Amino acid sequence: MSNEKVALFENTIKNFLAPVWPLLQDEKVTEVMINRYDEVWVEIKGKVQKAEGVRFKDEDALRSAVNNIAQSVGRRITDEEPRLDARLPNGFRVAAVLYPVACKGTTVAIRKFATTQFTFKDYINIGAMTPDAAQFLDICMKLGKNVLVSGGTGSGKTTLLSVLSNRIPKGQRVIVIEDSKELKVEYEHVVFFETQQPDEQGIGEVTIRDLLKSSLRLRPDRIIVGEVRGAEALDLVQAMNTGHKGCMGTIHANSAEDALVRLEALAQGGDKGLSEKALRHQIASAIDIVVQISRYADGSRRLGSISEVLGFDKDGAYEVVPIFEIPRLVKQPDGRLKGDILPTGTIPTFMGEIEDNQIPFPRGKFNKPQAA
């Protein structure tokens, strides 16, 4: 959408969201959460606080705002379908649930995304990762490793996936599939797909799984799924196992191990005829690297670990070995947490590929630092 159309849309949406518009214009605010018409909270620097004195006139005014937002982006929210998940042309993501499903009243969350593209250098500058960890991830992109970005809600998975996507070597065809377009992929040969909700007659729905199946017929070199949260997990795993190197996606999980277990649970809905043993082996073979990103108690978002998937351990659980991880975080007098993601002493199994490609990242980079 052109800048002129975005500006026109903002002038329109500004009227619907007048009570919270100043908050949405505040660069310090990353998310606005409306729990009911007279209760608004905001996230600033990773911390949630109440926005005192901010309120809509009444429940009807808030619901009217949600209805107008849905209509303006071609979505629908009704008593029969009381949920909305939409991306606005200016980049805001809106999620809403109507009363009485939302017991206190219509509930809305509006998440803002950075207007500028993040880079590895930015992560390093804010202490979210070290230069060596960033270079290792860059190497994973160059070598076409299949990467799963894991983390909780609001941990920064989408931003990190965007950064990784922009490190894909030139000369490849990349297909990006999302529910709502959020990834900022600046690449020379990229195709974007977005899901479509059914119309009032229940016709015309296009799911992530539908788009993933279509993408496989469109000669992709790499497939990127913004968020894996359904049966499309199986199709992504199978694509990774059939010659599509360097595929990526995000998933909601609290650890690298949990990410694989969740991926398995989601994939089980994709093909009832596939045995559990076969599915687990496909997942262990498909995923090379799991990057865990988290939001910590001080509000910071940083990489907690970069792990390699090696298969299964003697107990039959996924064997996930950290290559880099945060050994400890120490609380400082100002309340901030101090600690870096450091090598664990484990050398990745693809070290030979790094050396064969003459990438300047010697084995010594993986040595575990000596305790102070």
- Locus of tokens 């500004």: 14
User: Is pLDDT above 80 for 11?
Assistant: no
**Percent of the chain at pLDDT above 70?**
96
The per-residue pLDDT for 7 is: 64
What would the pLDDT profile of 222-263 be if each residue is shown by its tens digit? Answer: 999 999 999 999 999 999 998 889 999 999 999 999 999 999
Domain assignments of the chain as residue spans, ordered by start: 3-111, 120-366
Whether the Cβ atoms of residue 173 and residue 220 lie closer than 8 Å to each other: yes
Say which residue, 356 or 45, is predicted with more confidence: 356
Q: For domain 3-111, is the CATH number 3.30.450.90?
A: yes
CA distances from 42 to 22, 49, 101 (A): 12, 6, 22
Helix (H, G, I), strand (E, B), or coil: what is residue 140?
helix
**Which pTM was predicted?**
0.85
| Mean pLDDT across 139-155 | 95
Neighbouring CB atoms inside 10 A of 241's CB total 16
Average pLDDT value for the chain: 91
Residues 366, 323: Cα–Cα separation, whole Å: 7
The per-residue pLDDT for 3 is: 60
CA distances from 289 to 98, 143, 190 (A): 39, 12, 23
Whether the Cβ atoms of residue 99 and residue 60 lie closer than 8 Å to each other: no
Whether the Cβ atoms of residue 23 and residue 4 lie closer than 8 Å to each other: no
Q: Half-sphere exposure of 293 toward its Cβ, with a 13 Å CA cutoff? A: 24
CA distances from 320 to 17, 229, 292 (A): 46, 21, 12
User: Is pLDDT above 70 for 4?
Assistant: no
Residues 111, 103: Cα–Cα separation, whole Å: 22
CATH for 120-366? 3.40.50.300
What would the pLDDT profile of 34-79 be if each residue is shown by its tens digit? Answer: 999 999 999 998 889 999 999 999 999 999 999 998 988 878 899 9
